[in-house]
Every structure is written in C-alpha cells, then in structure tokens.
Amino acid sequence: MSKERIKNLIERHLPEAGLVETALKGVQMFRVTEAMPCVPAVYQPTVVAILNGTKEAVLDGEHHVYGSDKYLLCPMTLPVEAGTPQASTQDPLIGVVITLDPRLMRELAIEIETVAGGTTRSQASSASALALADWDDGFTQALLRLLELLDSPVAAAVLGPGRMREICYAVLTGGAGASARRAFGVGNEIARTIEYLSNHLRDQVTIDDMAGHVGMSRAVFHRRFREATTMSPIQFVKSMRLNNAAMMIAGGKTVSEAAWDVGYQSSSQFSREFRRMYGQSPRQWSQTAQLPDQLN
C-alpha cells in the first residue's frame, strides 16, 4: 500500500515523460516512455527507487536489472552503462533518484558503527560496488515520508533535511547497508580515493599516488580497490575517463575537447582506447550517440 502511494504521488507530480528536480534538495523524479539501450554514464553516490518498469545498470560486464521489488544503491562514483530497455508509453519507467550527501552519510555511518560497537562492520568485506536491496518497511516508510513533503513547499524546506536523514539511515541499516557502510563508514579509503580521482581526471594520477593518498602500500591498495569496485585501479581510471568523454561528445563537445578534458594528451591513444571500449571511433560515436537525460 505504501509503495502504491509513492507511485501515485510521483505520477501526480510528473504526469508527462521527463526528469525533474523537486523542491527537496537532491531528489529527482523521472518518467521514461521509450526504450533506451545501455549507454556510458557516470553514477554519483545515489539511491534509485523504481515504482514501475525496469532499469538496467552494467558495471564491468555485470548486469543489474531491477524494478519495483528492489532499489539500487550506488555508494561511490562509478563508470557504468545504463539504460531503460523495456520502457514504453503503455508501461513507463517511473521512479525517483536520491543523491546522497557524503558528509551526512559518513556522519550517520560512523555514528551507527559507534553505537553498535563495530558489530555492523564484519559484513562489509563481501559487499559489491552496486547493491540491490529489498524494499523493507524502513526504507519504504522513509521514502514515503520524504516525498509527501512535496505537497507543501514550506514543509519541504523545514522538514526536508530531517526526512533525508531518515532515508539515509534506512539505506545504511537495510539490505544495501554493507555496501553503504563500507563506502561511508570507518575504513572508507577506496571511496575517498574515487572521490579524489573524480576531481582529478585531467591529472596523470599513478597507482602510487592513489595508494599514498590513503596511506596504503601499492599491493594492499590494488587488492582493496579491486574488492570494492571489481576493477583494477588503472582499468577504473580508464573507464571513468572514457565514459565521461563519451557523455561529453554526445552532449556536443568535439572529440579533441572531450579527450583533453578527461586527461588524454594523445588523440590517437584516446581514439584507440575509445574504439576498444565501445566498438566504434569517437567520431562515429558523435554521429550516432543520443544520451537520454541522466537518470542514474
């Protein structure tokens, strides 16, 4: 019943296809009415909850297809491919995206670990980079209470931060909690490294630089990074750069501008690696790519 109320609320505020910012900071609602293949994207730390239809995210070859029975947590910035392969006018994809505030998530994660005496941390070693979790009662009620504020701008402004704290708590203690706590709790070195990389895509960052940034040896860092993301650090950096470049090109930038903006100093190397990743040259991509609004 609560999920149906959430769906009706979104449909009332978003009767037509589109992606809209709401009066609640970090909360977007979306409705997609045509199928879209998976294309390069860069996910920020977010929660995606689907109320109708199915969505797909691909990370390092692993497909995550989910609908209204699961919500998706992306606990750190990740290079993925994402699409809506089954959306249609008759069966639209309807959902909400919540951008997570890393500061708030860190505060809550550490507070939970402190109160629990460290008992929640043992699960985190087996957590995956993208996590799917069941809609438990805590998450469902927190999401409903958050979105109900959209009916009152005053309530959204006054109560929004508190309700956002509730949804973050529900994520940290729910089925995706292990992934969330690993990214935001004590020992979140890999997530901090990825945040650093995201802000330094143009720079020639080495594995030694990354390991030194979080005070690890090269070997330990390499192992921990692969455990957290399924990719090696070099593979991750390359995927981040190429996905960002593909999005820039689809958005109208020239191939050379996109290559430079993500740190490539050799256009021939950029073209080779782009073709290897996507099966076509950057120029071919610029002529055929049509990226949808970013739905995370």
One-character DSSP codes across 98-135: EE--HHHHHHHHHHHHHHHTTTTGGGGGG--SSEEEE-
CB 74 within 8 A of CB 51: no
Answer positive or negative: Cα dihedral of 178, 184, 188, 192.
Answer: positive
Alpha carbon distance 236, 230 (integer Å)? 9
Alpha carbon distance 242, 24 (integer Å)? 32
Task: Grade residue 118 by pLDDT with cuts at 50, 70 and 90.
Answer: low
250-276 CB burial, b ≥16 within 10 A, e <16: beebebeebbbebbbeeeeebbebbee
Indicate if the pLDDT at residue 127 is higher than 80.
Answer: no
Indicate if the pLDDT at residue 220 is higher than 70.
Answer: yes
List, in sequence order, the alpha helices (H) in 117-232.
Answer: 137-148, 153-173, 177-184, 189-198, 207-213, 218-229
How much is the pLDDT for 204? 84
| Poorest-pLDDT segment among 89-103, 150-164, 206-220 | 206-220
Q: What is the mean pLDDT of residues 263-278?
A: 90
> CA dihedral in degrees (82, 227, 114, 118; nearest 10)?
130
How much is the pLDDT for 128? 61
Query: What is the overall mean pLDDT for the chain?
Result: 88
Alpha carbon distance 175, 172 (integer Å)? 8
- pLDDT, tens only, 159-197: 999 999 999 999 999 999 988 988 888 778 888 888 888
Alpha carbon distance 234, 165 (integer Å)? 35
How much is the pLDDT for 126? 44
Indicate if the pLDDT at residue 265 is higher than 90.
Answer: no
How much is the pLDDT for 290? 56
How much is the pLDDT for 191? 85
Indicate if the pLDDT at residue 84 is higher than 80.
Answer: yes
Q: What is the mean pLDDT of residues 249-265?
A: 90
Alpha carbon distance 105, 47 (integer Å)? 12
E strand or H helix at 56, and its extent?
A: strand 55-59
How much is the pLDDT for 289? 67
Alpha carbon distance 10, 30 (integer Å)? 8
Q: What is the mean pLDDT of residues 4-8?
A: 95
DSSP 44: -
- pLDDT, tens only, 47-63: 999 999 999 999 988 89
Indicate if the pLDDT at residue 235 is higher than 70.
Answer: yes
Q: What is the mean pLDDT of residues 266-293?
A: 82
Q: Per this entry, what is the length of the chain?
A: 296
Task: Grade residue 136 by pLDDT with cuts at 50, 70 and 90.
Answer: very high
As a whole-number percent, the residues of the chain with pLDDT over 90 amount to: 59
The neighbouring-strand residues paired with 84 are: 36
Q: What is the mean pLDDT of residues 221-225?
A: 89
Alpha carbon distance 156, 21 (integer Å)? 13
